[in-house]
Amino acid sequence: MLTDQHLWNAPRAERLLAGRVTVPGSKSQTNRALVLAALSDGPSVLEGVLASRDSYLMSAGLQLLGADIQPIGPGSVQVMPGLAHPTGPIECGMAGTVMRFLPVVAALVPGQTRFVGDEQASRRPIAPVLNGLRQLGVEVDSDRLPFSLNAPDRMCGPKVTIDSATSSQFISALLLASARFPQGIDLRHNGASVPSIPHIAMTCTMLADRGVTVVSDEPCHWVVRPGPIHALDDVIEPDLTNAAVFLAAALIVGGSVTVPGWPTDSTQPGAQFMGIAEKMGAMVSRVDGSMTIAAQGWQELRPLDVDLHEASELTPVVAAVASLARGRSRIRGVAHIRGHETDRLAALEHELAKLGVEVQQTDNGLDITGRGADKLHGGKFGCYADHRMAHAGALLGLVIDGVELDDITCTSKTMPQFPQMWANLVEEV
């Protein structure tokens, strides 16, 4: 955490919002597209690529593994595929996609590859992916960062069984590169229900767009045959989970916020925020490719009971909004977010309570009894090096005096310009 002189005073909204926010590209799509381009059968151009710490780490890791990734314009890169033995360790930071996707890519390169990350990254679960690689003949010396893997000259397979109950990324990681495995993959999940299923659908759709068929004729079972991953020039959608924090601002302040470039049909779980906003009292409209939320402010918010198992990244934003709605709200189905950048349930319980919110963890979520913004008070809001926690704190600061975030820089993970974008939204008339 930062010292007091680095505290970020969350801007207070003094008037109804009338904002229009252009949201950067999807982190999930960006990092999947980079992996697929690096493993494809020819060069490709990606447009709308997110510029953030997570995407930088993914690009840097893929380049260490043999790809050539060059910027050719704002938000645009050209990827020349390639595989080579890395000359140094691969830095994962706190990026779940990097620490889970790139070991599978590294398994295609015979020899040893070292993976390192931020101090907190050692607490993020990764064992199911590494166990899957072990079943393919890869040697791995640990189940946590840092670790080294030693890939054989030829992987075995194709049958792999893992427990992906704590993250859908374990499934996506093995599927993304599986067409390059000598025998493809016959992948099964054995465990409790998989969270964030739309992210697996995103992976399968992006593979299909590149000529790779994922057959899933029964639940929790995916089969990919070996073959090429065709090169594809692609355009990345705006990140709809990042968009949710800006749209939520209209819910609690009142007025309207518009996000242009909203996809007509998206596999991003963040798209589910529109239905949540409607249940809480917002008017939602999509006109000419732009999504708009209009609302009356926190005084008119309705509490809700919602299962966010498929869209758990929305939990901090929804929890912040629910804290301002008079009445009891329940967020369910998100026990797995205890293993995200931080234990998000414990962090939300602690930080919301510090501001006067009546909140407690359940076995799979949060119970929040909101009393309105006028019953809450300011204070330091801990971010735990977690960009989604910072989004929650920024939202509360719009309508509560004196909310100070201890680490706004953690938003660089997916939105480096977030502090300025947030200030612009509050100041825009």
CA 145 to chain centre: 19
Q: Report residue 25 as tokens.
A: 């590209």
Catalytic residue among 91, 237, 310, 313: 313
Dihedral angle sign, alpha carbons of residues 389, 394, 400, 402? positive
CA distance 279 to 239: 22
CA distance 57 to 37: 16
Confirm or deny that 340 is annotated as ligand binding: yes
CA distance 71 to 34: 12
Which 8-state DSSP code applies to residue 10? P
Per-residue pLDDT of the chain (429 residues; tens, 9 = 90+): 344 557 999 999 999 999 999 999 999 999 999 999 999 999 999 999 999 999 999 999 999 999 999 999 999 999 999 999 999 999 999 999 999 999 999 999 999 999 999 988 998 999 999 999 999 999 999 999 999 999 999 999 899 999 999 999 999 999 999 999 999 999 999 999 999 999 999 999 999 999 999 999 999 999 999 999 999 999 999 999 999 999 999 999 999 999 999 999 899 999 999 999 999 999 999 999 999 999 999 999 999 999 999 999 999 999 999 999 999 999 999 999 998 889 999 999 999 999 999 999 999 999 999 999 999 999 999 999 999 999 999 999 999 999 999 999 999 999 999 999 999 999 975
Let me know if 313 is a catalytic residue.
yes
Confirm or deny that 196 is annotated as ligand binding: yes
CB 235 within 8 A of CB 281: no
pTM, two decimals, is 0.91
Confirm or deny that 279 is annotated as ligand binding: no
Confirm or deny that 96 is annotated as ligand binding: yes
Helix axes 315-322, 344-354, angle to 10 degrees: 30
Query: Which domains can be identified in the chain, with CATH numbers?
Result: 6-22+236-426 (3.65.10.10), 26-219 (3.65.10.10)
Confirm or deny that 169 is annotated as ligand binding: yes
Confirm or deny that 76 is annotated as ligand binding: no
Confirm or deny that 413 is annotated as ligand binding: yes
